[in-house]
Amino acid sequence: MKKVAIALVILAVLFWLVFPSVLKGLGLHPDCPPFEGDLSGRSALVISTSHRDMCGDAGGETGVAASELIHPYYEFLDAGMRVDVASIQGGVIPMEPGMLGWPIAGAYEKRFLADPAAQEWVAESLKIDDIDFTQYDVVFIAGGWGAAFDLGQSEVLGDKMTEANAAGALLGAVCHGPLGLIRARKVDGTPLLEGVRATGVTDEAVAALGITCTPMHPETEMRKVGAIFEEDHDAVHEFFTNYRTQDGNLFTGMNQNASCSTAQDIMLSLLSQ
């Protein structure tokens, strides 16, 4: 029995060590490759949901998907940019449970847990009402299930994104983040997403996860305002894709896996300006 117990412990340790690498190998929450470029003097605003309750008390807690906030934050910061963090209501940004721990947490998640300055931004985020979006070169909207409850419903966010677009900012959004674009307008008054290639969480993914109680689903809402919705049809499963799009000044990522790469796509575009 003692040998069996030892063997089980060894297997458990190996599983603990190897499983995160297996997930990353499949494409889930990949670590960010180094970005070569200096964007000193440029600025970015990263926006999050403020919603923390998933479909009432029985649904548990929700919030922003940690990687969708943390990865762009560090990508922009490490490139020399000034980075501000904001949310719909300001103050503490709730995070999806379990996203800062095993087996998902990567280098940036671990960095965040040891970074008091970044944690302060998340605990004392700016309120979008109080910010002039036109003062930023980049405006990036993170997703997570909480975003389904307040990004697309916010007239303030829609108006601010309209102003940022008119000012020529580069706009980014991943996963549920594109819901923050559905109220935004082009300079001619038509929906910002109308006739524009973009991606986000698919209706199929929402159904597969069984989280259909949320009030807005990205694919459905984006199509309603005329977006040319794209998705990765070649991936083994969309949960493992890193699919993203660019159309003009708009950069979108299909899910959490695209958080870093979407930010880097934006930074490469900024470097060329």
CATH of residue 169's domain is 3.40.50.880
Domain holding 138, by residue range, is 38-271
User: In this structure, are 23 and 48 located in the same domain?
Assistant: no
User: In this structure, are 228 and 151 located in the same domain?
Assistant: yes
Give yes or no for a contact between 164 and 171, defined as CB atoms under 8 angstroms apart.
yes
Distance between first and last Cα of the chain: 67
CA–CA separation, 106 and 121 (whole Å): 20
CA–CA separation, 205 and 229 (whole Å): 14
Residue 16 scores a pLDDT above 80 = no
- pLDDT class for 10, splitting at 50, 70, 90? low
Weakest mean pLDDT among 120-124, 206-210, 245-249: 206-210
User: In this structure, are 206 and 266 located in the same domain?
Assistant: yes
User: In this structure, are 70 and 119 located in the same domain?
Assistant: yes
Overall domain count for the chain: 2
Q: Where are the alpha helices (DSSP H) in the chain?
A: 2-26, 66-78, 107-113, 116-123, 147-150, 155-166, 203-209, 218-224, 259-271
User: In this structure, are 103 and 237 located in the same domain?
Assistant: yes
CA–CA separation, 141 and 46 (whole Å): 6
User: In this structure, are 110 and 221 located in the same domain?
Assistant: yes
Residue 223 scores a pLDDT above 60 = yes
User: In this structure, are 24 and 113 located in the same domain?
Assistant: no
**Angle at CA 228, nearest 5°, toward 148 and 182?**
35
Weakest mean pLDDT among 69-73, 208-212, 248-252: 208-212
User: In this structure, are 101 and 1 located in the same domain?
Assistant: no
Render the burial of 55-64: b for 16+ CB within 10 Å, e for the rest: beeeeeebbb
Residue carrying the six token digits 């944690």: 119
User: In this structure, are 129 and 227 located in the same domain?
Assistant: yes
User: In this structure, are 79 and 131 located in the same domain?
Assistant: yes
Contacts of 81 (CB under 8 A, 6+ apart): 39, 40, 42, 43, 44, 137, 138
- pLDDT class for 18, splitting at 50, 70, 90? low
CA–CA separation, 95 and 80 (whole Å): 26
DSSP-derived 3-state class of residue 250: strand
User: In this structure, are 72 and 111 located in the same domain?
Assistant: yes
Residue carrying the six token digits 């009402």: 129
pLDDT digits (tens, 9 = 90+) for 169-206: 999 999 999 999 999 999 999 999 999 999 999 999 99
User: In this structure, are 223 and 186 located in the same domain?
Assistant: yes
